[in-house]
Structures are given as structure tokens and as C-alpha cells.
Amino acid sequence: MQDLIASSIKYQQGTLTVLDQYLLPHQQHWHVCNDVETMKDLILTLKIRGAPLIGLGASLLVAHLAEQGMSQSALAVAIDELEATRPTAVNLMHCMAKLRLALVETDYVAAVVSTAEQLFKEDIALCDSMAERGAVLVDKGDNILTHCNTGALATAGVGTALGVIHKAQQRHGDIHVWVDETRPLLQGGRLTAFELERWQIPYTLICDNMAASLMAAGKVDKIFVGADRIAANGDFANKVGTYNLAVLAHFHNIPFYVVAPLTTLDTQTACGANIEIEQRSPNEVRGVSGSFGEAIWAPTNAKVHNPAFDVTPASLVTGWVLDSGVYNQSDIEQGILKKLK
Ligand SMILES: CSC[C@@H](O)[C@@H](O)C(=O)COP(=O)(O)O
């Protein structure tokens, strides 16, 4: 396989390495990943994360294993196991479905390798298209609120919602970003803050429960978020807390945009209620952990509800920024998403 390099994943001279997003921003540690168990663990512990990147990481590993001589039947098992690691983000399923098709080719090694390479390069191009289309919606001087991490760390390219912000800053300058810290796993506080700092885009970090009063004070002009799965009717799943923002944006009359590539569309799923939501460990809510160690502040056995994602209904979305265009409520009602995939 050819060398493929992104912010948080690299395939170089036959070695796959993954930047540990759990340890960022204070430690930059790259894991070598040569086997399915390691990749499963990296995905389950969110060391590799973000809807597009999970699919690409799993694909590069499968291609690497094919090149190393793994049999077709063992590769099929690997694909199934990797696909089962995170149930909400559909990009992983999209990538694994493409690899399954490649696996039945006579020269399956070449087919699997070229599929993984194409998926990686396609993601870079999709990010560029979303950034171009979304940046048009941003005005000079805008205060933009975002949730979770949707930047270069989460994709092979510049990102989805954060890619739009990056492009808008390059184009107009004078953008300021309100960064939701994104409890429980702090992807905003740890990763989005890190990326905005690296890109020298002015930002202010807030706790998730501070967004409402900022909106009421007129300090949020637009909201851009990513998605892990968009259903046929435009409902979408994204990091838990996104739905709160959509309701608040609706109340305060603030434009609310979701940014995602074609690979995030799931037109087989009719509506958001049918999207499986991943439930995660109670300790993520009982306390916090990271490069700084682990602290549990709740009673050790406190009962916990910890869905990793929530579903935002289409009725609360101002625009769907996809790589192919920006779509509004009327486009969605006319079934545009089904025509795109
Ligand atoms: C390009 S990223 C889109 C989504 O994957 C992102 O918003 C998100 O919710 C990530 O969740 P995570 O659990 O950190 O993988």
C-alpha cells in the first residue's frame, strides 16, 4: 500500500501508526497497529475516534493485513469484528461494506488495498468540498459555536464542521469559536481547543451548560456541528449534547448547520429513532480520566446513563452542509438525501 498521511493516522513504509487522541493535547504518542485486537482497543477507548477516521483506520488495517498474507476468510472475520466496535457512526459500516466487495475479487489483495487507498483519498476530497460549501455561510466577525471534535484529528482531511471554520477563517479572518468542552469525554476541551490553537483561530472554551446564556446574550451567530449518521429524513446522530444545542438554537433563532460527507448518509435508516446509540462505561460520567490520570467524584456505584450520542430531529436544522451542496428543509422534505446515495 502506498504511504498515506493525515493528522492522526499514518501508513508509512508498511507501518500503520495512530496518534493517541485520549492523551492529547498534553502527550503526543503514536501507537503502532499491526493486528485486529490492537485496532479494536484503539477504537473502543477512543484513542482513534471521529466518524470518518474510525472507518479509515479500520480499512487501512484490513489492507495491511491483506498485504501481509491474511486469508480471505480471516479478513472477512476481521472486517466483521472491526465493524462491531462502534455502532452509531455509519462511516465504519460504509468502509467495511466496500472492503467486503473487494474481498470477493479474484485478486482480493490488490482490490482491498486499492479500496482502502481510495477511501482515504476520497475523505480528503470530501472534507475540502464541505469546507468550501460551508465557508460561504460564514460572515466576517462571526462567533461560531461548535461541539465535540470534527477537525483534522477526526478525518483524513481538514475535518467536517471544524473544516468549515478553518476555511472561513482563511477566507475572511476575524472568526471566533465558542468550544463546548463536550462532557463526558471532553473532545472539545482536549481536541478542538488543541486544533484551533494549532491553526491560530481565536476560541474560547466553555462548559456545555454555558451555551444557553451565551445565546441569550446574542453572543453566538451560528452553530456548526458534525454527524455520525444522517437518516433518510435528515434526522442525525452526533455527540451527546448536540440535540441540546439544536433546541437552544431554535429558541434563540440562531442558524444551526450540520456538516457531513456522503459517507455519513444512511438512507437505509428512515429516521433518527432507528439509529442505534452506543452506551458507554458508567465511569466516564462518574468522573474523568486522561493523560492526567483518573478521578472518580461520584459515589463509586452511582447509577449512570451514558449514551455517547443523541439524535437531532431534522426540523431543528437550518442547513445540511454536505460535500455535494448545502441543503435546506425543503430539499430534505423532497427526499434529496435518498437521491444522493
Ligand atoms: C468528523 S467528526 C463527526 C462526528 O464523528 C463527531 O462530531 C463526533 O461525535 C465524534 O464522536 P467520538 O465519540 O469522539 O468519535
pLDDT tens digits for range 215-230: 999 999 999 999 999 9
171 labelled binding-site residue: no
Asked about 221 being catalytic, the answer comes back as no
Query: Is the model's pTM score more than 0.90?
Result: yes
Closest ligand 1 atom, CA of 187?
14
Whether residue 292 is predicted with pLDDT greater than 90 in this model: the reply is: no
For residue 230, what is its C-alpha cell? 444522517
Residue 18 C-beta-side C-alpha neighbours within 13 Å: 31
Give 76 Cα–ligand 1 centroid separation in angstroms: 26
Binning pLDDT at 50, 70 and 90, where does residue 210 land? very high
Residue of 47, 49, 95, 275 best suited for mutating to test ligand 1, as the one with most atoms within 8 Å of CB: 49
Residue 50 assigned ligand-binding role: yes
Query: Between the CA atoms of 4, 124, 122 and 256, what dihedral angle is there, to the nearest 10 degrees?
Result: 150
Mutate-to-test residue for ligand 1 from 149, 236, 275, highest number of ligand atoms within 8 A of CB: 149
- Return the bridge partners of 326, or none: 321
User: How many whole angstroms from 272 Cα to the centroid of ligand 1?
Assistant: 16
57 is in an annotated binding site: no
Q: Report d(CA 252, CA 244) in Å as an integer.
A: 12
Note the ipTM here: 0.98
| Residue 76 vs residues 35, 65, 91, 93: alpha-carbon distances, Å | 14, 11, 18, 13
Of the listed 142, 228, 310, 323, which one is catalytic?
228
280 is in an annotated binding site: no
- Mean pLDDT across the chain, nearest whole number? 97
Which atom of ligand 1 is least distant from the CA of 91? 5
* Cis previous bond, 307, omega within 30: no
